Amino acid sequence: MYILVVEDEELTSAMVHLALSKEGYQVEIADNPRAAMHLIQKQEPDLLILDINMPYQNGFEFSKKLRSEGYETPIIFMTSRDAVEDRLQGFNLGADDYICKPFNFLELVARAQAVIRRTKKATHNGNQTLRSGQFELFPADLRLVTSGGKDIRLTPIETRILRILMESAGQVVKRGHISAEIWHDEECSSNSVDVYIRRLRLKLEDDAQHSQHIISVRGSGYKFIG
């Protein structure tokens, strides 16, 4: 497994390189997005660990460029920017995880391993659709199709949340469970869940305030009704 780390702080990049190499990963370091793009064009990594504050182009802009050019490389943002707005921006850009500095290097390794496992599983099951009532979810294509023929485009995070809800259709899914599955954090990301639920409701139906398909269960979480 090949991991590319894009980090301009020499000590941090050296420590990350050491921690990941000890686990048997092939690791390369780039200290700016230009050098990273050159390496990615030669060989797409299995995982990209990306700092946000960097020379020439920040990590958010660089991830946008990658996605616009068709790269679907899993991304972990590694940064000192811990505001909720920054986390939401990162996840909305398709990040698979977000870890704030300072962090424990063993935790970073564990998160990298988790993302790689999920990516393998998602790739294996990527073409499998999921049906619930009038909805059919195509995770590999990031879209939801209704029985009436409406084609709804989704972001990667929206797709993952909707899949969790549809897999438990008719049952209450706790907010903390969604946070743990998506962001590996039951408490700090609970507001993020609410933001994405609102976005999904707006896409699924005209009246998001009185949703018929993603039902709020007070004090608990959400229930999907197809």
pLDDT tens digits along 204-221: 886 656 788 999 998 889
- Chain mean pLDDT for the chain: 86
Structure confidence at residue 13 as a pLDDT band (50, 70, 90): very high
- pLDDT average, residue stretch 191-197: 85
Q: Which fold has domain 2-124?
A: Rossmann fold (3.40.50)
Domain edges within the chain: 2-124, 130-224
The per-residue pLDDT for 110 is: 92
Integer distance in angstroms from the first to the last C-alpha of the chain?
Answer: 39
pLDDT tens digits along 137-183: 998 788 999 988 899 998 878 888 999 999 999 999 998 888 877 76
**Burial of residue 177, with CB atoms counted within 10 A of its CB: 0-12 exposed, 13-18 middle, 19 or more buried:** middle
The per-residue pLDDT for 72 is: 78
When mean pLDDT is compared across 99-103, 123-127, 131-135, the lowest value belongs to: 123-127
The per-residue pLDDT for 157 is: 81
The per-residue pLDDT for 92 is: 81
Confidence (pTM): 0.57
Q: Output the CA–CA distances (angstroms, integers) from residue 137 to 60, 71, 90, 104, 132, in the order listed.
A: 27, 22, 23, 37, 8
Amino acid at 82: D
Whether the CB-CB separation of 2 and 25 falls below 8 Å is answered with yes
pLDDT tens digits along 98-121: 898 888 999 999 999 988 887 776
Greatest mean pLDDT range, 16-25, 60-69, 99-108, 132-141: 16-25
The per-residue pLDDT for 180 is: 79
Give the span between the Cα atoms of 175 and 215, in whole angstroms: 12
**Burial of residue 13, with CB atoms counted within 10 A of its CB: 0-12 exposed, 13-18 middle, 19 or more buried:** buried
The dotted CATH code for 130-224 is: 1.10.10.10
The per-residue pLDDT for 151 is: 93
The per-residue pLDDT for 214 is: 94
The per-residue pLDDT for 11 is: 93
Could you identify the residue written with the tokens 């990301």?
189
The per-residue pLDDT for 144 is: 94
% of the chain with per-residue pLDDT over 90? 43
Structure confidence at residue 123 as a pLDDT band (50, 70, 90): low
Structure confidence at residue 85 as a pLDDT band (50, 70, 90): confident
